[in-house]
Structure 1
Amino acid sequence: MHSETTATEEPTAARGAVAIITNRRGELLLHLRDDLPEIAWPAHWSVLGGGCDPGESPADAIVRELDEEAGLTVENLTELFEITDHRGSGQIITFFSGFWDGDEADLLLAEGVKLQFFAPDYLDILTIPPFIREGIYRCLAAKPS
């Protein structure tokens, strides 16, 4: 009897997407995460985003996540780069940038504690996951002055 050997596929790494949103003053929209032990990076300031659903692209995921988490629609999201969250979820995170010049108090926060714009000067005093901090600094360094 002949037995066929099929190659087993390597499981694909979990993926996620986040958006670095800035306004006309160059401030960044940050999201204070819930303080729940079952989530990655509880009680940390982060950027909006989340995991990709099965079969969903990071570009589709970020549009969905912005709407679900904050009722936010951002035109002209630009894909930047990927960073792996080695110390948290383990996901490969695709970073996007976008522009939104509204009032964060008008957003409908569905997850987390708070949304707030911060000037880049405040980043060093906030508790931010290391991979998010790296992504923000890479994004800011690439923008023309």
Structure 2
Amino acid sequence: MHSDTTRTEGPATARGAVAIITNRRGELLLHLRDDLPTIAWPAHWSLLGGTDDGEHPAETVVRELDEEAGLAPRNLTELFEIRDEHGSGQLITFFAADWDGDETTLPLAEGVKLQFFAPEHLGILTIPPFIEDGIHRYLAARPA
């Protein structure tokens, strides 16, 4: 893993983790966030994940996937970090994983819905800039 951020001395940086989950068709699982003014990126399509509770980023993403959607993906791989500059300010660790199931059957505990999207359809969605950057970086680096 490598980072695109420069770490500075000072208070601990708030951290989080998200997962880019793909199925065998190469579609990406996105999460439509609640439309609440008290959360970062309300009513945006995002990746499943969340804030760490003082744990390693891999533990965070596994816990969040289970809590939010009862999801246990395969082949979890740490990718890179991106800061959510225009939202929470958190340093977010991105992971990749795969899961081949029916997303409509997952027990969604927060947010509005989960849906797989083909990469070519992402441009029509409202996605937080740091999530969009992470997805594009992931797609550019994966084997054809």
Note the alpha carbon deviations across 1:117-137, whole angstroms, 9 max, x for none.
000011111000000000000
Q: Which amino acid aligns with 2:24?
A: R
Q: Structure 1 runs of 4+ off > 2 angstroms?
A: none
1:49-88 superposed matches below 5 A: 49-53=49-53, 55-88=54-87
Q: Which amino acid aligns with 1:51?
A: T
1:4-15 superposed matches below 5 A: 10-15=10-15
Q: Which amino acid aligns with 1:113?
A: V
Q: TM-score, normalised by structure 1?
A: 0.92
Secondary structure of the residue that 1:19 maps to in structure 2? strand
Secondary structure of the residue that 2:108 maps to in structure 1? coil
Give the deviation of 1:103 after TM superposition.
0.5
Please name the residue that 1:33 is paired with. Answer: 33
Q: Which runs of 5+ in 1 are unaligned?
A: 1-8
Larger Rg: 1
Secondary structure of the residue that 1:76 maps to in structure 2? strand
Give the deviation of 1:74 after TM superposition.
1.1
Please name the residue that 1:18 is paired with. Answer: 18
Secondary structure of the residue that 1:64 maps to in structure 2? helix
Q: TM-score, normalised by structure 2?
A: 0.93
Inter-partner Cα distance in structure 1 for 2:75 and 2:111: 25
Please name the residue that 1:108 is paired with. Answer: 107
Secondary structure of the residue that 1:31 maps to in structure 2? strand
Secondary structure of the residue that 2:58 maps to in structure 1? helix
Inter-partner Cα distance in structure 2 for 1:78 and 1:125: 27
Secondary structure of the residue that 1:65 maps to in structure 2? helix
Inter-partner Cα distance in structure 1 for 2:24 and 2:50: 25
Inter-partner Cα distance in structure 1 for 2:56 and 2:11: 16
Q: Which runs of 5+ in 2 are unaligned?
A: 1-8
Secondary structure of the residue that 1:141 maps to in structure 2? helix
Q: Which amino acid aligns with 2:137?
A: R
Q: How many residues align?
A: 136
Inter-partner Cα distance in structure 2 for 1:42 and 1:82: 22
Please name the residue that 2:121 is paired with. Answer: 122
1:133-144 superposed matches below 5 A: 133-144=132-143
Give the deviation of 1:75 after TM superposition.
2.1
